[in-house]
Every structure is written in structure tokens, then in C-alpha cells.
């Protein structure tokens, strides 16, 4: 085998070593905060008995959205319980919830800024192209090298993976808001904040919901891969089933992931409509 003409691995390894040496305090602070946030979310989900949490989701779903959503909640969460993977399912839901909330909190304002500034959008476009072209598991490599194995690199990689779709669709949603609507708000004396909250966001709501939906599904896909780096949850059970050739465990974990994905997708759509 001939020597490669381009080998960026040495430079990247040196950069990671430099970051670990000079940014240890910052990374420790980020890792500690992320771990505490995840632990709090998991504790909140696992504190009540499984049947109580299922009832607490099913009954309000029936009252707010009808019997179909209630049945979906009952079947989806009930499947995780019947599969013996309740704890892992709650870990996955907690990780997805924190990841999606963080991704949206970072991508939404940046997407608005990109919609208003053409230069910022042009600068972000190649970065987002690269981020969405890179295979998902590649995000885990630098996260593990900086934060070691565990839930924190899983969260960091999932957040980074979930930012591009929300950022792109937020930019598109705000650019598609009719200029006449914005001009009408400005002419009526509304402040920029009022124009955004009272006119632009309601007008862009349907498109923004598509971005949120994509972020949820992509985050769930990354969480499954994060089982390879000790992220826990249903992804770890899929990995365990593959490595040990336990078809039953892998099938139960796979069906539970599908159930969680459908539940989060439908619930987020109906809750924000």
C-alpha cells in the first residue's frame, strides 16, 4: 500500500490534544452540566411507576387530541414496557428531548439571523452542507476524544447532528414570510420583536414544524448510534444484541425504537399545531 498524499489525521490529533490540554476546564464544565441535565430528565421520567407515566400521557392525549393519539401513546409506551426495556426507553426519550431542545435553542436564532443577513447565510451554507454530508457516526469520534465515553459525547454529537435541518428550515421559513405582511406590521408601529412574534413566527409555523420534526427524527437516529460509545438507552440494547448475536434482544430494542420514534413524531406534531 502506497503512502497517502494527504493525511490530516496527525494534524487533527494534535488539535484534539491541544484542546484537551488547554480547554480541560471548559470541557469539564460543559460535560458536567450536560450530565446533570440528562440525569435530571431521566430521573423525572423514571421517578413515577411505568403504569402511572403511561396513564399520565394517555389520558391528557385523549382529552386534548382524541382517542387515536391516546391509543398511540398507550401502544407505544406499553410496547416498551412489555419488551422489558422501560428504563432504556426513558433514557432514550430523555436524551432525545434534551438534544432536540438544545439543537432548537441554538439553530432557531441563528436561522433567523441567516434569513435576515445574506452574507451570514452564504457563510453558513457550505458548513451546513458538510455537516449534512458527513456520516452520522463520524460526529461521535471527536466527541469521544474530548469527552471520553458515556452519555455526554452522545448528547454533544446528537445536538450537533440535529442543528443543520432546524437551521436550514428556519432560514427558509422566515425568508418565505410575505414582505407585505412584515411591512404592514412595521407601518402599524409594531416593534421588531412584535413583528417577529406576532406576524413572522405564526406565518412560518407550518414550515418550522417540519424542521422540528426532522430534528427529532435525526436526533433519535443519532441516539441509536450513540449506543456504540456508551450513550445507553435503546441504542445500547441494539448494539448488545448485534455484538452478542441475540436476535430476540435486538428485535425487541428495534421495535421499541420504532415505537418511540412514532410516538415522539406524532405527539410533537399534534402538540404544536
pLDDT single digits (tens) 230-269: 777 777 777 777 777 777 777 888 888 888 888 887 877 7
Q: Could you tell me the residue ranges of all domains in the chain? A: 9-47+83-272
pLDDT score of 67 = 81
Q: Are 74 and 58 in contact (CB under 8 A)?
A: yes
pLDDT score of 222 = 80
| Architecture (CATH level 2) of domain 9-47+83-272 | Orthogonal Bundle (1.10)
Alpha-carbon distance of 51 to 84, in angstroms, equals: 13
pLDDT score of 157 = 83
The gap from C-alpha 79 to its chain's centroid, in whole angstroms, comes to 23
Alpha-carbon distance of 79 to 73, in angstroms, equals: 10
Q: Residue 9 corresponds to which cell in the numbers above?
A: 489525521
Alpha-carbon distance of 181 to 71, in angstroms, equals: 40
pLDDT score of 152 = 82
Local structure of 178: helix, strand or coil: coil
Q: Are 155 and 34 in contact (CB under 8 A)?
A: yes
Low-confidence residues in the chain, pLDDT < 70: 1-13, 18, 20, 22-24, 271-273
Q: Residue 89 corresponds to which cell in the numbers above?
A: 426507553
Q: How many CB atoms lie within 10 A of CB 52?
A: 10
Which whole-number Å values give the CA distances from 259 to 64, 78, 156, 175, 252, in the listed order?
21, 9, 24, 35, 11
Q: Which of 264, 267, 269 is nearest to 218 (CA)?
A: 264
What pTM, to 2 d.p., does this model score? Answer: 0.84
Amino acid at each position: 500500500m502506497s503512502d497517502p498524499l494527504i493525511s490530516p489525521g496527525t494534524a487533527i490529533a494534535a488539535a484534539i490534544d491541544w484542546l484537551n490540554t488547554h480547554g480541560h476546564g471548559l470541557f469539564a464544565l460543559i460535560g458536567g452540566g450536560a450530565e446533570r441535565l440528562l440525569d435530571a430528565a431521566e430521573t423525572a421520567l423514571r421517578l413515577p411507576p411505568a403504569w402511572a407515566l403511561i396513564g399520565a400521557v394517555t389520558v391528557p392525549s385523549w382529552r386534548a387530541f382524541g382517542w387515536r393519539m391516546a391509543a398511540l401513546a398507550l401502544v407505544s409506551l406499553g410496547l416498551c414496557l412489555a419488551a422489558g426495556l422501560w428504563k432504556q426507553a426513558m433514557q432514550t426519550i430523555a436524551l432525545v428531548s434534551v438534544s432536540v431542545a438544545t439543537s432548537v435553542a441554538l439553530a432557531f436564532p441563528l436561522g433567523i439571523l441567516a434569513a435576515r443577513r445574506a452574507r451570514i447565510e452564504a457563510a453558513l451554507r457550505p458548513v451546513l452542507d458538510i455537516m449534512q454530508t458527513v456520516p452520522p457516526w463520524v460526529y461521535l469520534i471527536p466527541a469521544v476524544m474530548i469527552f471520553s465515553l458515556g452519555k455526554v459525547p452522545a448528547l454533544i454529537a446528537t445536538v450537533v447532528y440535529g442543528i443543520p435541518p432546524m437551521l436550514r428550515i428556519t432560514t427558509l421559513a422566515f425568508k418565505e414570510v410575505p414582505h407585505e405582511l412584515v411591512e404592514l406590521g412595521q407601518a402599524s408601529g409594531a416593534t421588531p420583536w412584535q413583528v417577529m412574534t406576532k406576524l413572522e413566527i405564526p406565518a412560518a409555523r407550518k414550515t418550522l414544524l417540519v424542521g422540528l420534526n426532522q430534528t427529532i427524527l435525526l436526533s433519535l437516529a443519532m441516539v441509536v448510534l450513540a449506543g456504540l460509545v456508551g450513550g445507553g438507552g435503546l441504542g445500547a440494547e441494539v448494539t448488545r444484541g448485534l455484538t452478542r448475536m441475540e436476535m430476540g434482544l435486538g428485535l425487541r430494542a428495534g421495535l421499541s425504537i420504532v415505537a418511540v420514534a412514532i410516538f415522539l413524531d406524532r405527539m410533537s406534531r399534534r402538540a404544536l399545531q
